[in-house]
């Protein structure tokens, strides 16, 4: 079937926020009830269970920073009531966590974002809940006589929810006691989760990022989820956390796009290559990322953006260079600014919606979680990579300015061992992007029909040589031309 995806996503530049670590407001204790006192100092090394007190009001207070960066969409990691700092352990899907300011603060945040033209999508954790979730807690109290026994996959009684030296005797995500898996074969569970999806859309959110949706191995569940969500808002964005080939879910009847980690791997492979620090990537869904030469990178870009999916799906992919589940961009790139800069240039010029993980734009480092979830250093602006921030701002502004970069088709027009050039066309508008990932300058000749008459709009070093379509590009650099 032909896919229909939300039109606005093509023009979106997402900013992903881990709420406990982005910004902390002083309004608690004034306009809002005070927070608990046992919080880690802001900027302390993150721990598995520690909270640093970031909240939704703090995000409101930093919206100027986001609009200056050019952000027009926010993806929030989970915000529902939970006893974990990452909030993937949900115990109430209808209440915003009080540490974030509760439902009142979320309403204030959503209104403030929308007033600035910033859309908001939430993280939907529908595969599993938490030990504190009411229906699971009911099992702990009432055992096999609980009316909610069929909400989960229980294999024995009494339910072992806390003895870590023994495996849980119920289905749990990755065998973790704290994350009991829903039984989505139960009609009441299906209705509950579908209703959560529509409720928050009715409150005004603009879509859902779905956590591990492949683990609800049921196309009909997600088909109905889509049908109900789109009935509330036909332009709601539904994007799945799918780390590989997602064609099963991206046929136009389930999700609009995926978190495009396949692009992430390809970008690292070409721009970082042998210079990658992969100490922690094997512990994540990224796995080992193979170095790529220009031919391999060009082939992978062509596969991702021209072969695998319907063109509407391609334009709705959520492309990224890292997330809360991966070591930080600057760390994997071995703190090489040229690598990071070129990866951002690629992210912001390929089809799909770019997603910037908070802090990557200032070079925030971090290894495997929880280290990749450090507090944003508002208290230490001297640590910011200002040159990188300025470069990201320029690239974001260019993407907003040039419709070809947001909505154009995609074609690789040239590749060598160290050079890749691609072209985006939208109507009569064209943008051309060239990269030299090698350390040595490269001189290359482009095809006769190549749109090299275009004026330069953003350039590093390099020049168009006499004689037509012969171009020299210095090592570790990229260029963009556009009309």
| Cα gap 390→339, rounded to integer Å | 16
pLDDT of residue 469: 64
Q: Tell me phi and psi for residue 421, to 5 degrees.
A: -130, 130
pLDDT of residue 470: 74
Q: What residues does CATH 2.60.40.1180 cover in the chain?
A: 409-482
pLDDT tens digits in sequence order for the chain, 483 residues long: 578 999 999 999 999 999 999 999 999 999 899 999 999 999 999 999 999 999 999 999 999 999 999 999 999 999 999 999 999 999 999 999 999 999 999 999 999 999 999 999 999 999 999 999 999 999 999 999 999 999 999 999 999 999 999 999 999 999 999 999 999 999 999 999 999 999 999 999 999 999 999 999 999 999 999 999 999 999 999 999 999 999 999 999 999 999 999 999 999 999 999 999 999 999 999 999 999 999 999 999 999 999 999 999 999 999 999 999 999 999 999 999 999 999 999 999 999 999 999 999 999 999 999 999 999 999 999 999 999 999 999 999 999 999 999 999 999 999 999 999 999 999 999 999 999 999 999 987 766 666 656 665 544 433 443 334 678 899 999 999 888
Burial track 429-448 (b if 16+ CB lie within 10 A, e otherwise): bbbbbbbbbbeeebebebee
CB 296 within 8 A of CB 268: no
Residues noted as catalytic: 211, 241
pLDDT of residue 215: 98
| Cα gap 280→328, rounded to integer Å | 10
Q: Look up the CATH superfamily of 409-482.
A: Golgi alpha-mannosidase II (2.60.40.1180)
DSSP-assigned letters across all residues of 25-90: -S-BTTTBPPPPS--PPTTSPP-SS------HHHHHHTHHHHHHHT--EEEEPP-EEESSSS--SE
| Cβ burial, residue 307 (10 Å; 0-12/13-18/19+) | exposed
Q: What is the 3-state secondary structure (H, E, C) of 354-369?
A: EEEECCHHHCCCCCCC
Q: What residues does CATH 3.20.20.80 cover in the chain?
A: 7-127+182-401
* 7-127+182-401 to CATH, choices 3.20.20.80, 3.40.190.10, 2.10.260.10, 2.40.50.140: 3.20.20.80
pLDDT of residue 483: 85
């Amino acid at each position: 079937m032909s896919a229909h995806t939300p039109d606005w996503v093509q023009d979106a530049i997402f900013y992903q926020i881990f709420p406990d670590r982005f910004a902390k407001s002083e309004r608690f204790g004034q306009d809002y009830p005070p927070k608990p006192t046992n919080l880690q100092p802001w900027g302390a090394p993150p721990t598995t269970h520690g909270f640093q007190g970031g909240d939704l009001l703090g995000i409101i207070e930093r919206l100027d920073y986001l609009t200056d960066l050019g952000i027009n969409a926010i993806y929030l990691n989970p915000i529902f009531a939970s006893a974990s700092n990452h909030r993937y352990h949900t115990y109430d899907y209808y209440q915003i966590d009080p540490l974030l300011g509760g439902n009142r603060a979320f309403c204030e945040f959503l209104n403030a974002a929308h007033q600035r033209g910033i859309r908001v999508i939430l993280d939907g954790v529908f595969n599993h809940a938490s030990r504190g979730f009411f229906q699971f807690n009911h099992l702990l109290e009432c055992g096999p006589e609980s009316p909610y026994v069929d909400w989960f996959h229980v294999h024995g009684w009494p339910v072992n929810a806390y003895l870590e030296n023994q495996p849980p005797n119920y289905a749990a995500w990755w065998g973790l006691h704290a994350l009991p898996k829903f039984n989505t074969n139960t009609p009441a569970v299906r209705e509950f989760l579908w209703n959560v999806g529509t409720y928050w859309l009715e409150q005004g959110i603009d879509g859902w990022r779905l956590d591990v949706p492949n683990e609800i191995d049921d196309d009909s569940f997600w088909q109905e989820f889509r049908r109900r969500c789109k009935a509330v808002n036909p332009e709601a964005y539904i994007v799945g956390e799918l780390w590989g080939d997602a064609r099963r879910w991206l046929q136009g009847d389930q999700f609009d796009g995926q978190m495009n980690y396949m692009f992430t791997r390809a970008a690292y492979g070409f721009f970082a290559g042998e210079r990658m620090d992969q100490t922690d990537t094997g512990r994540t869904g990224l796995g080992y990322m193979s170095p790529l030469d220009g031919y391999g990178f060009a082939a992978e870009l062509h596969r991702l953006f021209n072969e695998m999916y319907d063109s509407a799906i391609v334009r709705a992919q959520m492309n990224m260079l890292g997330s809360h589940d991966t070591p930080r961009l600057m760390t994997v790139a071995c703190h090489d600014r040229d690598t990071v800069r070129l990866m951002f240039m690629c992210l912001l010029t390929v089809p799909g919606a770019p997603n910037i993980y908070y802090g990557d734009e200032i070079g925030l480092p971090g290894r495997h979680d929880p280290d990749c979830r450090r507090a944003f250093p508002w208290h230490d602006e001297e640590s910011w990579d200002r040159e990188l921030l300025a470069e990201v701002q320029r690239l974001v502004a260019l993407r907003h300015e040039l419709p070809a970069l947001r909505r154009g088709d995609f074609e690789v027009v040239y590749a060598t061992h160290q050079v890749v050039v691609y072209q985006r066309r939208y109507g009569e508008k064209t943008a051309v992007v060239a990269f030299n990932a090698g350390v040595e300058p490269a001189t290359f000749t482009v095809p006769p029909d190549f749109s090299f008459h275009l004026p330069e709009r953003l350039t590093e070093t390099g020049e168009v040589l006499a004689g037509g379509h012969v171009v020299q590009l210095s090592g570790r650099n990229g260029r963009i031309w556009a009309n």
